[in-house]
Amino acid sequence: MKTVALALLVAVVAALFYYPTFVHIPSTEEVSGKTAQRAATPTLAMSTAPSAQPQQTNAESESAAAPAGQAPTAPTASAVASAVASPSQTPPSSTAQVVELPPATGKKVIIVGGGLAGMSAAIEAIRAGAHVDMLEKTTRWGGNSEKASSGMNAARTAAQIKLNLKDSVEEFYKDTIASGHGLSNEELVDVMTKESASAYDFLTSFDIDLNTVTKLGGHSRARTHRPSEKVAGNVGWEITSTLSKYLATLPRDRLSMKLGARLTSLVVEDGRVVGVKYMKRVRDANGHETGEELAELRGDSVILATGGYSRADDLLRKYIPKIVDLPTTNGPFAEGDGIKVAEQINASLIHMDQVQLHPTSFVSPKDPLAKTKFLAPEALRGLGGILINQDGKRFVNELDTRDKVTQAIFKNCKPLMVEQEVNGQMKTVVGPVVAHLIMTDEAVKLFPNLQFYQAKGFLRGFLGVEELAEGLELPGNTLKQTFAEYHECFVRQGNCADPFGKKDFPFGTRSNDVFHAMMITPAIHYTMGGLEIDKEAHVLRAAAAENKDEGDETVEAPTTTKEIIPGLFAAGEVTGGVHGANRLGGNSLLECVVFGRRAGRGAAVTSSASPSATPVSVV
């Protein structure tokens, strides 16, 4: 009871200082009495509140293919809207927020990275009795996790059951393995899919609304959970801001949170990870930042939750150079730091050349060469968006998996030629390979946050197919024929010979419809490679070929074994192996929760006296 009372007191104090931007978790320094006054002043860089909604600045989503329960006959706009399943009542939520913490065990866990994997790990480690130190290099919590807007996958959840949506862990497992094209680590996928419903329960126990369930590309069932339309934020924002609020209520003797703390190396003693070195920001007496200084933190174990390497040009150039110059949907912090520091202590890296390109990021007419792109949510294609090339033709099943749609764009579309001033002279520069994403007015209006995209200038409206062809400089007759054939498939609801095998046709394309056109290009979106882990989220050491006695004829090839690195755990996008060659939309948030929680629990009980260095054999 004492703990609960203390937690409530801290919550009230924190709320007083930080409301209404409560989702900002103050760093320990900010919360301490010494700096409480400073924290209230706007000059303190580290207390800069996050903007209202991250998805407003980079709204994006995973693939939303056919909404769950889509009507087999020609649907109306309202039918499609309601087919995105959402139960009328919220499944009962538990009161996990006020879980009484067990007495402190004295164990100290250091977690690096303030996205969903780090937050999930922190909650579990604290609930297992550990003290947690969280480090985050930027000035806000959330990472790429807060950008997610399609949702989190889970099978056999309360929401699915309530909506009478059939699914099973076995089907989810099969879909994930199939998507990974034979590269996924089956044991990790097994754990992730089996614990998906429990990950859903974990998040909904914080009253996070995950009641809307959709079927994304590559899934055989509707199992991607996100908030219902009445909730203002996207799924990533809802999750990270809610967990942030929860973390902010925890007693500071159980959790210390440092913003502006950038991990630079791991401290290893006797083969065991016992701490981290990091750069911390230094301020003068007025609170102005004056630079950085090196600091060291010691603990019983370290969890790396630093996210992926979509913004690490050095790693991309080393492992998959052909994509280095492509734009990306990721935040600038996705620099692969956790991978680099762990590699310094001989951690095993896996699938580093596997990087997911999202087929559709917006090309802004105002800045077509920008490196950072806003994601064009796959819900746009799920709601009936059609991809057209410069010949006025379709070239792919718009609802196919990301890798296939991406390849089709590169194969069938042309680069944009951009007029740019170079050294005072106008020159033509080769821009990104682009396709036109076309939607009818009816379809586009179903998309949430439409105004945001309109305000950014990503959509151009046209009345009728002729005006559209003229505006986009496409051959009019070909475009008319493309739309006529597509409309026929819509009328027959897929009972047609669509050349690309599309089965779901939410909207038709009549020649006099109002059309909206968006220019899109593939962008680096997610890095499947990373640190190799076992199912308990231990980081594995790079394999060393076993010594083979000279003249020993019995062993054909050198065998390799991989051991865990004692004291080192990892979870989330910093790891590799789960998704193989292609991540299914919605599986990353799930991976963060499942392996983040496992890492948190494991790190909280790991003992510095007896390192749990169980050998793991690797094929």
| Catalytic residue flag (residue 381) | yes
Instruction: Report if residue 62 touches ligand FAD, rule: CB under 6 A.
Output: yes
Catalytic residue among 131, 311, 381, 516: 381
Alpha-carbon distance 31 to 45, whole Å?
Answer: 14
Q: CA angle 534-537-543, nearest 5°?
A: 40
DSSP codes of every residue in 295-348:
EEEE-SEEEE-----TT-HHHHHHH-GGGTTS-B-S-TT-S-HHHHHHHHTTB-
Instruction: Report if residue 154 touches ligand FAD, rule: CB under 6 A.
Output: no
Binding residue for ligand FAD, selected from 53, 185, 306, 412, defined by CB under 6 A: 306
Binding residue for ligand FAD, selected from 27, 47, 53, 144, defined by CB under 6 A: 144
Q: CA angle 303-108-272, nearest 5°?
A: 60
Pick the piece of the chain touching ligand FAD (CB under 6 A) from 13-21, 180-188, 584-592, 600-608. 584-592
Three-state SS sequence of 548-594: CCCCCCCCCCCCEEEEEEEEEEECHHHEECCCCCCCCCCHHHHHHHH
Q: Do 237 and 150 touch, CB atoms closer than 8 A?
A: no
Name the H helices within 413-446.
Answer: 441-444
CA count, 13 A, side-chain hemisphere, 592: 33
Binding residue for ligand FAD, selected from 152, 316, 444, 523, defined by CB under 6 A: 152
Instruction: Report if residue 116 touches ligand FAD, rule: CB under 6 A.
Output: yes
Alpha-carbon distance 508 to 494, whole Å?
Answer: 11
* Residue-wise burial string across 216-232, b where 16 or more C-beta atoms lie within 10 A, e elsewhere: bbbbebbbbbbbbeebe
Instruction: Report if residue 113 touches ligand FAD, rule: CB under 6 A.
Output: yes
Q: Total number of residues binding ligand FAD (CB under 6 A)?
A: 45
Instruction: Report if residue 384 touches ligand FAD, rule: CB under 6 A.
Output: no
Instruction: Report if residue 329 touches ligand FAD, rule: CB under 6 A.
Output: yes
Instruction: Report if residue 138 touches ligand FAD, rule: CB under 6 A.
Output: yes
| Catalytic residue flag (residue 358) | yes
Least distance between ligand FAD and beta carbon 238 (Å): 11
Q: Do 167 and 221 touch, CB atoms closer than 8 A?
A: yes
Least distance between ligand FAD and beta carbon 598 (Å): 14
Q: Do 443 and 384 touch, CB atoms closer than 8 A?
A: yes
Binding residue for ligand FAD, selected from 333, 362, 462, 507, defined by CB under 6 A: 333
Catalytic residue among 226, 358, 436, 597: 358
Residue 218 or 307: the one with the smaller Cβ distance to ligand FAD is: 307
Binding residue for ligand FAD, selected from 163, 305, 352, 594, defined by CB under 6 A: 305
Binding-site string for ligand FAD from residue 210 to residue 239, where x marks contact by CB under 6 A and - marks none: -------------------------xx---
Instruction: Report if residue 60 touches ligand FAD, rule: CB under 6 A.
Output: yes
Binding residue for ligand FAD, selected from 244, 301, 354, 587, defined by CB under 6 A: 587
Binding-site string for ligand FAD from residue 337 to residue 376, where x marks contact by CB under 6 A and - marks none: x-------------------------------------x-
Q: Do 118 and 111 touch, CB atoms closer than 8 A?
A: yes
Instruction: Report if residue 201 touches ligand FAD, rule: CB under 6 A.
Output: no
Residue 60 or 300: the one with the smaller Cβ distance to ligand FAD is: 60
Q: Do 418 and 369 touch, CB atoms closer than 8 A?
A: yes
Instruction: Report if residue 521 touches ligand FAD, rule: CB under 6 A.
Output: no
Other beta carbons within 10 angstroms of residue 329's beta carbon come to: 24
Instruction: Report if residue 67 touches ligand FAD, rule: CB under 6 A.
Output: no
The dihedral of CA 79, 80, 83, 86: what is its sign? negative
Residue 35 or 329: the one with the smaller Cβ distance to ligand FAD is: 329
DSSP codes of every residue in 251-309:
-TTTEEEEESEEEEEEEEETTEEEEEEEEEEEE-TTS-EEEEEEEEEE-SEEEE-----
Residues that bind ligand FAD (CB under 6 A): 60-62, 112-118, 135-138, 143-145, 147-152, 235-236, 262-263, 305-307, 329-330, 333-334, 337, 375, 526, 572-574, 586-589, 592
Active site residues: 358, 381
